[in-house]
Amino acid sequence: MTLKIGLLGLGTVGSGIPRILEEHKQKITQITGTEIVIAKALVKDEFEKQHLAVQYDIPLTTNIDEIIQDKEIQIVVELMGKIEPARSFILKALSNGKNVVTANKDLLAQHGRELIDCASENDCDLYYEASVAGGIPILRTITNSLAGDEVQRVLGIVNGTTNYMLTKMVSEKMTYDRALKQAQELGFAESNPTNDVDGIDAAYKMVILTQFCFGMDIELSDIEINGIRGLALEDIDMADRLGYVIKLIGSSEINDGHVSASVGPVLVPKQHPLASVLNEYNAVFINSTGVGQSMYYGPGAGSLPTATSVVGDIIEIGKNIKLKMTGRPFNVYHETKNLASDEEIISKYYFSLEVPDKVGQVLKFTEIFTRISISYDQIVQQQADGQRARIVIITHSMTKAQVRKVTAALKEVADFKLLATYKVLKD
Ligand code: HSE
């Protein structure tokens, strides 16, 4: 008996699938009780992928109907990325009774509910472990292993490109442009790296993680998103001097049933486990009432790591098909969305401020912070040349509403320039 799959896309991740199925054929057959065979692969250009077709004996097609209408294909694996035509192809596959595996975070974050509902209506499985943190088995861990736990906060370094760039900017003082170019050459970056550097890719992953951790379907617009564009080497240096490292952190947390999510540069204490996540590696750090603190670390992109997650999903579906148990959502946990207000979102903050280098300026901005009841944890004058002075403040905990107020007040002072406002992670 064989289980036939149809592959949509034979790119970086897609080409890892036949390799894994071949190299671990005996083990996979033992686990699923059936041999898994790629019946057909959809490609844009048959000639370009001919070497893979020959190497792994995969029939190629440029016509999606040859996969979706093929009655023998039970699982469709979508690895094309982007929204269209991936969304339409998945909906058609599900409507034709085919189970689906995808690594498409853009699609899941923006059209997840539509796809999940379509899968349920057709008694099909829809799995997407590889959509968050590529090779790290994080979604299955949350939905299965932490099913009896209560997650309070999930923090993620879930974009390899920006983590690689920040690592190089910190350790080698590499410029932003050069670091981005290297990340692109190494193949971590999205086809349009804007999504990486502006925090969008990380935000897609936080939408999915929020769904799994808190059962809530949040939208991209519910997330405060800031990228690393414009991050100054002075702030990286200052963070270092104060005992922190700047990371692009996705965060989602729940307080009194209210969820808040953000993506942005965050000052992470050097002793925090997330500070040790370097280069293109990803990590997801969870605070939960049962387990306490746990961190899941590994490669967030790349052919074999991501393809391994995809094959894990295929095997899971293979088992469900055998047990006639397909049709249960990957994550069953569901709660009504309830967003936290700005008064409920609390963090320590880092402010970098440029002021005239003359008498009375510290008093002037301290009056503003005092009026808004914000207390300093640390304050440092970084540079002062007789003209301008650069001041860095780390506050005690304050609300997002206070951040808005202080930011507006500082901007009103003609001589002041607010250079950066970042969250500071507590130990
Ligand atoms: N561009 C993504 C990253 C790839 O850099 O992490 C994996 O989603």
pLDDT tens, the chain, 427 aa long: 899 999 999 999 999 999 999 999 999 999 999 999 999 999 999 999 999 999 999 999 999 999 999 999 999 999 999 999 999 999 999 999 999 999 999 999 999 999 999 999 999 999 999 999 999 999 999 999 999 999 999 999 999 999 999 999 999 989 899 999 999 998 888 878 999 999 999 999 999 999 999 999 999 999 999 999 989 989 999 999 999 999 999 999 999 999 999 999 999 999 999 999 999 999 999 999 999 999 999 999 999 999 999 999 999 999 999 999 999 999 999 999 999 999 999 999 999 999 999 999 999 999 999 999 999 999 999 878 889 999 999 999 999 999 999 999 999 999 999 999 999 998 7
From CA 60, how far away is CA 335, in angstroms rounded?
A: 43
**Angle separating helix axes 25-32 and 16-23, nearest 10 degrees:** 80
Distance CA 337, CA 196 (A): 26
**Structure confidence at residue 2 (pLDDT):** 95
Ligand 1 pocket mutation pick from 188, 278, 284 by most atoms within 8 angstroms of CB: 188
- Residue of 13, 104, 159 to mutate, ligand 1, most atoms within 8 A of C-beta: 159
Q: How far, in Å, from the CA of 159 to the mean position of ligand 1?
A: 5
What atom in ligand 1 is closest to the CA of residue 161? 5
What does the alpha-carbon distance between residue 18 and residue 410 come to, in Å, rounded to a whole number? 58
The verdict on the CB of residue 406 being under 6 Å from ligand 1 is no
Written as six digits, the tokens of 84 are: 């269209």
- The residue to mutate among 128, 196, 277, having the most atoms of ligand 1 within 8 angstroms of its beta carbon, is 196
| Structure tokens belonging to residue 412 | 């009103």
427, two tokens: 């130990």
C-alpha to C-alpha distance for 23 and 66, rounded to whole angstroms: 27
DSSP-based three-state secondary structure for 87: helix
Per residue, what are the HEC states of 353-417? EEEECCCCHHHHHHHHHHHCCCCEEEEEEEEECCCEEEEEEEECCEEHHHHHHHHHHHHHCCCCE
Residue 49 corresponds to which amino acid?
K
C-alpha distances (whole Å) from 209 to each of 52, 156, 206, 328 are 34, 9, 5, 18
Q: What is the per-residue pLDDT for 190? A: 82
Q: Is 188 in the pocket of ligand 1 (CB under 6 A)?
A: yes
In this structure, the residue with its CA closest to atom 8 of ligand 1 is: 301
**323 CA to middle of ligand 1, Å?**
34
What pLDDT sits at residue 383? 78
254 token code pair: 């729940």
Query: Residues 6 or more apart from 115 whose CB is under 8 A from it?
Result: 87, 90, 91, 94, 100, 107, 108, 126
Backbone angles phi, psi at 47, to 5 degrees: -65, -45
- Measured between alpha carbons, how far is 225 from 131 in angstroms, rounded to an integer? 19
> Is the shortest distance between the CB of 161 and ligand 1 below 6 Å?
yes
In the set 105, 205, 405, 423, the catalytic residue is: 205
Residue 171 near residue 163 (C-beta atoms within 8 A): no
Q: Is 160 in the pocket of ligand 1 (CB under 6 A)?
A: yes
103 CA closest ligand 1 atom index: 8
Chain CA centroid to CA 112, Å:
15
Q: Tokens in use for 31?
A: 């686990």
Per-residue burial over 347-371, b if 16 or more Cβ lie within 10 Å, else e, is bbbbbbbbbbeeeebeeebeebbee
Residue 400 designated active-site: no
Report the DSSP pairing between strands 398-399 and 346-356.
Answer: antiparallel
> What distance in Å separates the CA atoms of residue 150 and residue 291, rounded to the nearest whole number?
9
Side chain identity at residue 333, one-letter code: Y
User: Which residues have C-beta within 8 Å of that of residue 167, sequence separation ≥ 6?
Assistant: 278, 279
Q: Quick one: which of 213, 240, 203 has its CA closest to 294? A: 213
Q: Tell me which DSSP letter residue 339 carries.
A: B
